[in-house]
Amino acid sequence: MDKARNEMLTRVGRGTPMGDLLRRYWHPIGGASELADNPIKAVRLMGEDLVLYQDLSGQYGLLGRHCPHRRADLSYGFVEKAGIRCNYHGWLMDERGGCVEQPFEDTFNPASPLRKKCTSPAYPVREMAGLLWAYMGPEPAPELPVWEPFTWSNGFKEIVACEVPCNWFQCQENSIDPVHFEWMHDNWSLRQRGETGPYAARHLRLGFDEFEYGFQYRRIREGATEQDPLWTVGRVTLWPNGFFLGSHFEWRIPIDDENTLNICWFFTRVPKESEPYVQNRVPTWYGPIKDTNGRWISSHIINQDVIAWVGQGTIADRSQELLGSSDRGIAMIRNRFFQDMDAVAQGRDPKGIVRDPEKAKLVKLPIATPKTFTESLPREQWQKDPYFGRRAQRFPWQAGQPSEVWNEFANAMGIDPGGRDPSELRVY
């Protein structure tokens, strides 16, 4: 790939081909629970410095970070019944980016046209599944699709995020690279445990297919048959910057050209004895990616992915690559992105945009093992289940996880939280 095309894939500022494309979609930008203690948060998205807030009436807003009056930092402002007020001179901005109060000006010169000139960049924000979603593109905005797993009941949900110091696209390409599971996760984890073998089952066949909301990759490993759900159904590279594995979603949202917000949404079905289970709040926490010595944490699966992403450089130079047969899916999504950038330039919708409100109410995705997440299991079977058993065993050892999240999870699953050392890291 030449450098010019690599620039097209990686640059996300307003007015760039990829930046204009990504702005056609709703993106998760954090968890609603993040604003519970402090209703204002400074954020940076696609190269824009912004402030996210929830006012006293419950309305969310996403505005330019600097007050249009004297450029004070609105992340140090305070919320009102409707809007966010600058702490410097008290100008009050609403969620549409308009100025609704200018205290001194309103008293001294109420007929002044200054208020009409006072505007801020403003983007709509919606809450769904405990996530806050933002749309930064032109109107009319598409529908925000309700992915089917968001409607599942009787499950513990959590949002885990981290900020990764590299370009978003090398993170997303990882979502259609099945062979890395064999080596980066299975075999590397084995070596980290001090074992030298036997290595994990090898990949024998790969398949890549496009569908309305992304791509599916399918695989057969040693010992599997063509009836294996990872071959018949596979996993989903969710368009344009997501990944869906059945148990959880991952999204890679550009902070700017050189940094990425990685957001994961997890669902764990509770045992039958814990039903009905209603979760009143979806916790959000940020996982560390470096240890106290400044080394990348390598003992957790997602952290292992991070090492692969940042190891390619801040912005990967794809002109230096040597693609092989296992990289066919990567070539497919690159081609599709170029097609979508052309579509946007011509005024057409790109892939996966939902305009029909009825269709957006429930959007199904291919799930290799749907019954795992939608059917009850008695606790004894739940603990022996390959997925849930591992989930319960490893959950408390996620690096950086707040103790209250583990306690809430244990309570939901009906298991003894016991004691734990939060500094201990295990392969996750």
Report if residue 8 sits inside a domain: no
Tokens read off for 114:
């200054």
Q: Is 10 helix (H, G, I), strand (E, B) or coil?
A: helix
Same domain for 119 and 196, yes or no, is no
Q: Is 254 helix (H, G, I), strand (E, B) or coil?
A: strand
286-317 burial, b for 16+ CB within 10 Å, e for fewer? bbebeeeeeeebbbbebbbbbebbbebeebbe
Among the residues of 118-174, which ranges form H helices? Answer: 168-173
Report if residue 16 sits inside a domain: no
- Domain with 182 in it: what CATH number? 3.90.380
Same domain for 96 and 165, yes or no, is no
The pTM of the full predicted model, rounded to 2 decimals, is 0.95
Same domain for 85 and 183, yes or no, is no
Same domain for 51 and 94, yes or no, is yes
Report if residue 331 sits inside a domain: yes
Amino acid 426: pLDDT: 45
Amino acid 428: pLDDT: 35
Amino acid 392: pLDDT: 84
Q: Which long-range contacts (CB under 8 A, 24 or more apart) does 192-195 make?
A: 192/298, 192/299, 192/427, 193/427
Residue 189 domain boundaries: 148-413
Beta strands of 37-166 (E only): which ranges? Answer: 40-45, 48-54, 60-64, 78-79, 84-85, 92-93, 99-101, 122-123, 125-128, 131-135, 155-164
- Domain with 107 in it: what CATH number? 2.102.10.10
Cα-to-chain-centroid distance, residue 155? 19
Beta bridge partners of 125: 134
**Residue ranges in the chain whose pLDDT is less than 50:** 422, 424-428
Residue 103 identity: P
Amino acid 393: pLDDT: 80
Total tally of structural domains belonging to the chain? 2
Same domain for 292 and 366, yes or no, is yes
Beta bridge partners of 131: 31, 128
